[in-house]
Amino acid sequence: EVQLVESGGGLEQPGGSLRLSCAASGFTLSRYEMNWVRQAPGKGLEWVSYISVSGGSIYYADSVKGRFTVSRDNAKNSLYLQMNALRAEDTAVYYCARDGTGGFSFDIWGQGTKVTV
Amino acid sequence: QSVLTQPPSASGAPGQRVTIPCSGSSSNIGTNIVNWYQQLPGTAPKLLIYVGFPRPSGVPDRFSGSKSGTSASLAISGLQSEDEAVYYCAAWDDTLKGVLFGGGTKVIVL
């Protein structure tokens, strides 16, 4: 079964750090561009970050730029999001999402991991 | 504030057709693929439509998407109770270098 499973969420103090992981199974992560998307309680979806297949191209939302770092380990079929200098407004469910088409069409989503700051 | 604009809600009776508009600009909808996601309560979003391409496997043909200039729309025909969800449009923005989501439209089946 093709799936993504996030982990690493939890409760953290403002100014603290968390590292989220996203494990892929049922497909080869190295063939796909990947993204992180978050959803604050009761709010809509907000794109957070993108990473290319090789990791050579990375983009961030302005709201997290300079504080969050996305990375991937294709050998481990895993995606990561290092979150530093956390703020209350970072409180959200964080989803990793696969770009299935190369056109930022997110065809596979994880179940999400909750981050509370 | 979302740069892609959607109405907060839409409604229809079972069997009716509901259309959800999404307004953007030349740097996003005008240039790039528009995607529609369905989010049922308490679940992760699901890719419903990427406009101009075949529907993802398992998506009923009651759902269709279109784009004209800097606007897009999602149509749900033959509305069913299980279609009650929040629907988001999304597209890459060439200027902002990021993916934009609309604010979401909650569809209510009367």
Q: What is the pLDDT of residues A61-102, one digit of tens each?
A: 999 999 999 999 999 999 999 999 999 999 999 999 999 988
Which pLDDT value is given to residue B90?
97
For chain A, give percent helix, strand, coil, nearest 5: 10, 50, 40
Span A34-47, average pLDDT: 97
Q: Do B98 and A60 touch (CB under 8 A)?
A: yes
Touching check for A47 and chain B: CB below 8 Å? Answer: yes
The confidence band for A41, taking pLDDT boundaries of 50, 70 and 90, is very high
Which pLDDT value is given to residue B3?
83
Classify each residue of B19-45 as buried b or exposed e, where b means 16 or more C-beta atoms within 10 Å of its C-beta. Answer: ebebbbbebbbbebbbbbbbbeeeebb
Write out chain A residues lying below 8 Å of B46, CB-based.
109
Is residue A106 within 8 Å of residue A98, measured between CB atoms?
yes
Which pLDDT value is given to residue A88?
98
Which pLDDT value is given to residue B2?
57
Which pLDDT value is given to residue A54?
93
Per-residue pLDDT of chain B (110 residues; tens, 9 = 90+): 458 999 999 999 999 999 999 999 999 999 999 999 999 999 999 999 998 888 999 999 999 999 999 999 999 999 999 999 999 999 999 999 999 999 999 999 99
Q: Give the DSSP H/E element, type plus range, for residue A115.
A: strand A113-116
Write out chain A residues lying below 8 Å of B93, CB-based.
none
Which pLDDT value is given to residue B99?
97
For chain B, give percent helix, strand, coil, nearest 5: 5, 50, 50
Residue from A32, A47, A94, A104 whose CB has the most chain B CBs within 10 Å, to mutate = A104
Average pLDDT, chain A: 96
Is residue A109 within 8 Å of residue B88, measured between CB atoms?
no
Q: What distance in Å separates residue A22's CA from the closest CA in chain B?
A: 14
